Amino acid sequence: MEIKKQKLEEMIVRILKELKLKEESETYYIVFSSPWNNLYYLALEELKNLDVNLYALISKDINYEHQKEIQDSLNWRNIFLFDDTSDIDYKDGKTIFLKLSRNNIIDIANMYSKDFETNLVKKMLSEGQDIFYWDKGLEKVTGKEPIAYKNKLLKYYEEVFNFGICPIELKGVKR
């Protein structure tokens, strides 16, 4: 099959434009915190439908089988283990925490940096970066807590929201 030179040049130009658009599309760093949460399976399914650049930040404390599932599930631009993230330039992307524990929320609200997640939030806040948490991954109150305890927790959640850390639906991410 013979392809004319002009047709070949048009195809090359179209492919290069598509590659450039892919490079210019939004970048998201997806944080998989330990311990493993089965909601990550749902998140991975939702992430498959997005047409954005995705990087995985995986806790080194997640067992190897689950790390492998994350790695094999999507076409990630790159994959980092938590102890391997010092060279990442977060300035060109947005970070989505798939899970934030109640302790993470309290530490972020009180501006403590006790683990990878809270250190990353501190770094990103100081650089004015966009931070989100998956709306399904936030530890909720049970409703059985005493009123004073529940009100205190809600104040921590509100404080974190006031920092600009907002919930996001993965389905709502630019496609």
Q: What is the pLDDT of residues 58-68, one digit of tens each?
A: 998 899 999 99
pLDDT bucket at 175, cuts 50 / 70 / 90: very low
For residue 75 the two structure tokens come to 């076409």
Homologous superfamily of 26-172: Flavin prenyltransferase-like (3.40.50.1950)
User: Domain locations in the chain?
Assistant: 26-172
The answer to whether the pTM exceeds 0.85 is no
The phi and psi torsions of 169 (rounded to 5 degrees) equal -90, 130
Q: How far is CA 38 from CA 3, 74, 117, in A?
A: 50, 17, 19
Render pLDDT for 149-162 as a digit per residue (tens, 0 to 9). 989 998 999 999 99
Number of C-beta neighbours around residue 91 at 10 A: 10
